[in-house]
Amino acid sequence: MHTILVVEDDHALRDVLLRGLRDEGFATVAAQDGAGALRLAGDTVDAVVLDVGLPDADGRDVCQAMRANGFVDPVIFLTARHRLTDRLSGFSAGGDDYLTKPFHLAELTARLRAMLKRAGPAGPAPAGELTLDPARYTVTVRGRDIALTPTEFRLLAALMASCGDIVSRRGLIRAGWPEGAHVSENTLDQYLSRLRRKLRQAGSDLTVRTARGVGHRLA
């Protein structure tokens, strides 16, 4: 039996989803905000149904933090936003699928089953000494909380989620800034330099390393 984490702050909708998923043969756990989602996402959860508009954080930032903190299983976003740029930003944040409200429960369960069928084995472990909190825009380094700007947070989340692999500069710009934003190469370098400084000051053994002509990685 697959266990689905439902993250939705609307109590009535959350109850409908939980009952409907259980009727379809799923086990369920629930959270009403991003902090709860991060606490519950782990080895016992097989997929996440994640509302974008949460009271304490943007669901896309929560998804990025979950990915960076090691969650590799499917995530489907729920949102009332219909624009293409909204959907693309959800995929860039690490989501696997996107369902706009209102929707039929049958479609949600069909998409969940399809995602779970396609889901492969877990990937490599993330940077274990770093933990992201999207509600407060902080990274915890060896028990110490370090404040980040929203852009720094999104860049670090993208680097952590890559598990040491190189992320292209274009990929970092897509992760750090809204679709269509004009971001110069110098601006990206300034933000990466700030991240290096904050990680160093926090005593982290990890830093943002450059692969010239290719991109950057956390190592």
Q: Average pLDDT of the chain?
A: 88
pLDDT band for position 72 (cuts 50, 70, 90): confident
Dihedral pair phi/psi, residue 126, rounded to 5°: -80, -175
Please, which pLDDT band fits residue 115 given cuts at 50, 70 and 90? confident
Instruction: Name the token pair of 171.
Output: 């990929």
Query: How far apart are alpha carbons 80 and 53 in whole angstroms?
Result: 9
Q: What is the pLDDT of residue 189?
A: 95
The pLDDT score that the predictor gives to residue 80 is 83
188: amino acid identity, one letter = L
3-state secondary structure of 168: strand
Position 124 pLDDT exceeds 60: no
Measured between alpha carbons, how far is 85 from 88 in angstroms, rounded to an integer?
A: 5
* The pLDDT of residue 123: 43
Q: What is the pLDDT of residue 217?
A: 93
pLDDT tens digit string along 154-187? Answer: 999 989 988 788 999 998 998 888 877 889 989 9
pLDDT computed for residue 120 by the predictor: 52
User: Per this entry, what is the length of the chain?
Assistant: 219
Q: Please, what are the domains in the chain?
A: 3-118 (3.40.50.2300), 130-218 (1.10.10.10)
At residue 35, the pLDDT reads 93
pTM: 0.68
pLDDT recorded at residue 83: 74
State mean pLDDT over 83-93.
76
Residue corresponding to tokens 């009535």: 12
Of residues 7 and 142, more confidently modeled? 7
For the segment 97-122, the average pLDDT, to the nearest whole number, is 84
pLDDT of residue 126: 47
Alpha helices by DSSP H, 24-168: 34-40, 59-68, 84-92, 105-118, 150-161
